Amino acid sequence: MNVETVATAPIEGQKPGTSGLRKKTAVFMQPGYLENYVQAVIEGVGGVDGRTVVVGGDGRFFNDKAIGIILRMLAANGAERAIVGQDGMLSTPAASNVIRKRKAFGGIVLSASHNPGGEDGDFGLKFNIANGGPAPESITDAIFARTKALTEYRILKDQAPSLSTLGETRLGNMKVEIIDPVADYVSLMETLVDFDRIRKLFASGFTLRFDAMHAVTGPYAKAIIEEVLGAPAGTVINATPLPDFGGHHPDPNPVHAAELFRLMFSSDAPDMGAASDGDGDRNIVLGRGISVSPSDSLAVLAANIHHAKGYRGGLKGIARSMPTSRAADRVAEKLKVDLFETPTGWKFFGNLLDAGRVTICGEESAGTGSPHVREKDGLWAILLWLDIVAARGQSIAEIVTEHWRTYGRDFYTRHDYEGISTASGDQLMADLRGSLASLPGKTFKDLTVAEADDFAYQDPTDGSVTSRQGVRIMFDKGARAVFRLSGTGTEGATLRVYLEKFEPDSSRHDRDPQDVLADVIAAADAIAGIRDRTGRSAPDVIT
């Protein structure tokens, strides 16, 4: 084989965050940057000699070129086979499925998810292990350690093969298999939800607008929703993936999917609105005149998942990330199943799913998933909603308001302060941590602090401990504020403030969360000094 061993030196800052390494595209394109990181991944996971690795990404700028380099490096490091999505495309959940189905050693998933793409945007790379899920911290720590000790990387001199022709070719001694990125995923979905029932729903005139945001889910959604389930052409919009997502942030929230939100609150609203993100693992669901908060979506799906054929056995347990609202806890309590509270990031759900302890997991950041893969899965969640709507014969608004009547409503909002200076973000968190012991008993506005801590998690299956995962302030009156810094940004720091309050009285459920939470918002600011420290008078993004 034509292997070249290239001398290199460690590059500062190649530290995986909440979901792999994310940097500006221009940084990833610097000579040797991607190569160094890929070599560190290969060595950090114990080598790829004789192994099968899945490779794919969300199609953003540099996706195809990066895959060419990765394939040449996998071959040079002895991999037996690479399985690659056609044209380099694989949504994150589809990649997870292929890893599992083909019993691969792991996968390299290229995406910066909801971050903007293009030459001036962001790029990302993460390694998923054999269960199909993001590498746990023990492995990301090993990868980071390798980035700091690297002296050379190995790459094949040969050109990488074309990614557009389905079938098998060779690169050095490695087999390269180009697969249809959509087919296996469609078959998997068919085992989980009732395609016939959803087909009948569409045939009866039910209307959906699915915004794929010019990202990777477009081809999956077109194939399933329009071709298989018979929704009219045009149901899926912005369905062609673009390297720069048409210049938008592919983040399905009220700011970046504003048009969809406007439509759903207008007189022309279809029965359901939905969107997914850059790499297809997030979802948002709206009904006519209502947007379902991701925390509520997790709770409603958990309470109704038995309607779907893949989950007839009912719920084993529910897992949610710590900042996700406690709506899911109420469902777990009523159904007498375990509720697990994990740090932010899907990698913390992997062990619980592998151990068969949970049937559904979710995050407030628009992520929901089940044991069918080891990633959150945007299109799956939307199909599950459709199946539940079809089974119950009720509108989304009816289902959600009935849920609130049964369990009470956890009013919820997240305020993001983006691109603040790293120094002020770090200082704010350090001061908060420093004040934890003195907070209980103090009153801010009309809320009194009951408890305050810095969240730590012990994995119940392997005993590993992860600390410093966010400051939690529990007030009286069922209110809570959580503070943490984002681990997916590429510029400065992003402060996330998660705010919630429980309201059992159904006559008060029909109110605006920002109004209901005004006192929690004010108390959070009084405690953390957000405005003074960030110099911002309002958050950049409210979800």
Query: Beta strand pairing status for 174-179 and 81-89?
Result: parallel
With CB under 5 to 8 Å by kind, the binding choice for 487 among Co ion, ligand VG1, none is: ligand VG1
Size of the site for Co ion (CB under 5 A): 5
Min dist. Cβ of residue 93 to ligand VG1 (A): 11
- Report DSSP letters for 149-167, one per residue: T--EEEEESSPPPPSSS-E
Q: Which is nearer to Co ion, 36 or 113 (CB)?
A: 113
Q: Helix 378-392 and helix 396-407: axis angle, to 10°?
A: 90
Q: Output 113 or 295, the one with its CB closest to Co ion.
A: 113
Does position 140 bind ligand VG1 by CB under 6 A? no
> Quick one: which of 319, 536, 339 has its CA closest to 418?
536
96 vs 424 by CB, closer to ligand VG1 = 96
279 binds Co ion (CB under 5 A): yes
Task: Mark the segment that binds Co ion (CB under 5 A) among 270-278, 353-361, 402-410, 522-530.
Answer: 270-278
In what order do the strands lie in the sheet containing 338-342?
338-342, 317-321, 360-363, 367-369
Task: Give the count of residues interacting with ligand VG1 (CB under 6 A).
Answer: 18
Q: Tokens standing for 366?
A: 């628009």
**Catalytic position from the list 19, 96, 111, 113:** 113
Report residue 20 as tokens: 């792999």
CB of 279 to ligand VG1, least distance (A): 6
Residue in 35, 58, 194, 281 binding Co ion, rule: CB under 5 A: 281
365: partner contacted, choices Co ion, ligand VG1, none (Cβ within 5-8 A by kind)? ligand VG1
Query: Is the distance from CB of 362 to CB of 332 less than 8 angstroms?
Result: no
CA distance 454 to 438: 13
Interaction partner, residue 61 (Co ion, ligand VG1, none; CB < 5-8 Å by kind)? none
Min separation Cβ 405 and ligand VG1, Å: 28
Q: Which is nearer to ligand VG1, 366 or 383 (CB)?
A: 366
3-state secondary structure at position 246? helix
Site pattern 261..280 for ligand VG1 (x: CB under 6 A): ----------------x---
Candidates 410, 473, 412; CA nearest to 439 is 473
Nearer to Co ion, 124 or 317 (CB): 124
Exposed/middle/buried for 299, CB within 10 Å: 0-12, 13-18, 19+?
Answer: buried
Smallest separation, CB 58 to Co ion (Å): 8
Could you tell me which of 120, 44, 123 has the C-alpha nearest to residue 88?
123
Closest Cα partner for 286 from 320, 322, 317, 260? 260
CA–CA distance, 133 with 352 (Å, rounded to integer): 12
Among Co ion, ligand VG1, none, residue 488 binds (CB under 5-8 Å by kind): ligand VG1
Query: How far apart (Å, rounded) are the C-alpha atoms in residues 97 and 186?
Result: 11
| Tally of helices (H runs) and strands (E runs) in the chain | 18, 27
Strands (E), 296-337: 317-321
Q: Which does 14 bind (CB under 5 to 8 A by kind): Co ion, ligand VG1, none?
A: none
Q: Which of 122, 211, 271, 277 binds Co ion (CB under 5 A)?
A: 277
Q: Is 96 a catalytic residue?
A: no
**Does position 251 bind Co ion by CB under 5 A?**
no
Which amino acid belongs to residue 323? P
Rule CB under 6 A: choose which of 372, 409, 496, 501 binds ligand VG1: 496
What residue ranges bind ligand VG1 (CB under 6 A)? Answer: 18-19, 113-114, 277, 281-282, 321, 344-346, 363, 365, 367, 486-488, 496
Binding site residues, Co ion, CB under 5 A? 113, 277, 279, 281-282
**Which residue numbers are catalytic?**
113
